Amino acid sequence: MTRRVGLKANGTQLTLEGKAFCILGGSLHYFRVPRAYWMDRMLKLKACGLNTLTTYVPWNLHEPKRGVFDFQRELDLETYVSMAAEVGLWVILRPGPYISAQCDLGGLPSWLLRDQSMLLRTTYPGFTEAVNSFFDKLIPKVLPLQFKRGGPIIAVQVENEYGSYAKDSTYMPFIKEALLSRGIEELLLTSDTHEGMKQGGVSGGWPLVSPCQQALIGDSALFFTDMIATVRKILKRGASINIYMFHGGTNFGFMSGASWHLEPKPQVTSYDYDAPLSEAGDYTAKYHLLRDLLGRYQSMHFHLCPVSAEAYEAAIVYFHLSLWEALPLTEGPFRSESPISMENLPAYNGNGQSYGYTLYETTISDGGILNSQGNVRDRALVSLTRAGLNLVNGVRTLSLLVENGGRVSRGEQLDRQHKGLVGDVLLNDVPLKDFTIYILDMKSTFIDRCGTVPPYTPTFPGFFQGRLFVDGYPSDTFVKLPGWGKGVVFVNGQNLGRHWSVGPQQSLYLPGPWLNSGANEVIVFEEEEADLKVHFESSADLGMAADI
């Protein structure tokens, strides 16, 4: 099926196929929701009275290594968009290449930083070549899903909030042409704050006002995001809305980024976002209020089905593998006279390390003052003479386990997000040399190798293994770790995300589809302390609520 006229903006009015149209949108990111729940979340979006789904496309997840693409499982974008059409939703696609979205490096792949001259979000050749390669793979997948070709995609966003960055006046025209030349023919739009609109727009594009802003730009239609409290006023004016987020979901694994306020401030694993639909997909009071309001503008015939999370018996830790015992299972070791950042390690066919931890070891014969010179990114656990090693002629092993806590997702610091040790560390004002470096990126292949471990004798850091038993059909649950310190949680090889006792988040969402009926393997990488029980409860604990 083909259609002649797509979404058009005329003054403050929108038309679709020549008929008056109002976007009632909600943001729902496929990469933050288990695939088994895509349909559930879309039906709930539709049942709330919304007619349009908006989603980002995370480049870093789709191209984890240069030239190696992944559009499978939770990253199957084509199936996701087609499913939205099946539900009866229109789609606004936000393909980036930069998306922000509180993702690590704003959704850009970390291997870009291997180029020491890299200028992200500019027409620097190293960046535009990588963008073109990604779009060559991505855009053909969504072309058949455009409105004019019978699909649900009614608009495509050009980059994201570039007006607040605006380092290169030729960049946005480049991205626009990159989309058009590959066959994008639906309405192009941009999203910026009111202050950034002049520098973030493109000719012929429809400017959106993003978060908590209101504006009428020339003869463009009004579009508001993240303004649930004023939805009634907006709809009375005949304007369109987009709820960011309608359902936030979860920053599974190491997806979450950081913000920058004088120093990096890491984002938590949960992306609940205080959205109308909770992290586990349950209805909130905000959902019901929004549904009641939108029901005045259109008829709705959907039955609401509540979510049921379950508490399970605690998993008792019965096996343990120390960090040092796990080193033969890691990528490496690599030898280097001086420290090397994660991204520049000679690993994974020249792509370096993206996420997780990096262990740097060297030997010292004298004590004294250790000075990182600010070259630890982001956090180092320092130990002297690792367990099981004997002292030889007074020489000791100095170990620095450095964690990437999340690259910033936006701002002026974007080009400077190398992790690990990014320069010399001094001992008594003398640079340490001759490093042995191990990669602990906690990929599923590594976690699988940790599955068989020696008898339990706890040391830290280490991997702690237990079993969760599920009787019958698995339900959602929430992992809680009272008495534990800081680390990462894996269930059946799935990285649920980081945990840290300092909070604010005190639980990790574990989707039922990721569990088996019967035994389930639970592994916790723990840096500091362990209670030796992993708890599973029926409700989330995201910390104390605060009005902002």
Residue 353 shares a structural domain with residue 369: yes
| Distance of alpha carbon 71 from alpha carbon 138, whole angstroms | 9
Domain end residue (candidates: 245, 261, 292): 245
Average pLDDT, the chain: 90
Tokens representing 83?
A: 């499913």
DSSP string, 438-484: EEE---HHHHHHTTS-PBP---SSEEEEEEEEE-SS--BEEEE-TT-
416 in the same domain as 450: no
Asked whether residue 250 is assigned to any structural domain, the reply reads: no
Residue 146, number of CB atoms within 10 A of its CB: 24
314-351 pLDDT, tens digit per residue, is 999 999 999 999 999 998 899 999 999 999 999 999 99
461 & 524 share domain: yes
Domain housing 388: 324-440
**Domain termination residue (choose one: 229, 245, 261):** 245
Domain membership of residue 68 (yes or no) is yes
What's the pLDDT score for residue 535?
Answer: 98
CA 425 to centroid of chain Cα atoms: 31
DSSP secondary structure code for residue 68 in this structure? B
pLDDT of 482 > 80? The answer is yes
- Whether 241 and 270 have beta carbons less than 8 Å apart is answered as no
Q: Output the pLDDT for position 394.
A: 76
Same domain flag for 397 and 526:
no
Report whether pLDDT(449) > 70: yes
| Greatest mean pLDDT range, 108-122, 212-226, 236-250 | 108-122
What pLDDT does residue 436 have?
97
With 0.85 as the threshold, say if the pTM is over it: yes
**Structure confidence at residue 58 as a pLDDT band (50, 70, 90):** very high
Within-domain flag for 61:
yes
Query: 271-292, pLDDT tens digit by residue?
Result: 999 999 999 999 999 999 999 9
Task: List the 379-384 sheet strands across, edge first.
Answer: 331-336, 435-440, 357-364, 396-403, 379-384
Q: What is the pLDDT of residues 152-211, one digit of tens each?
A: 999 999 999 998 888 899 999 999 999 999 999 999 999 876 555 566 666 666 676 665
Q: Which of 215, 245, 275 is the last residue of a domain?
A: 245
CATH code for the domain in which residue 109 is found: 3.20.20.80
Tell me the three state secondary structure of residue 400: strand
**Residues 316/322/328/329 CA torsion (nearest 10 deg):** 30
Cα distance between residue 403 and residue 377, in whole Å: 7
CATH of the domain at 451: 2.60.120.260
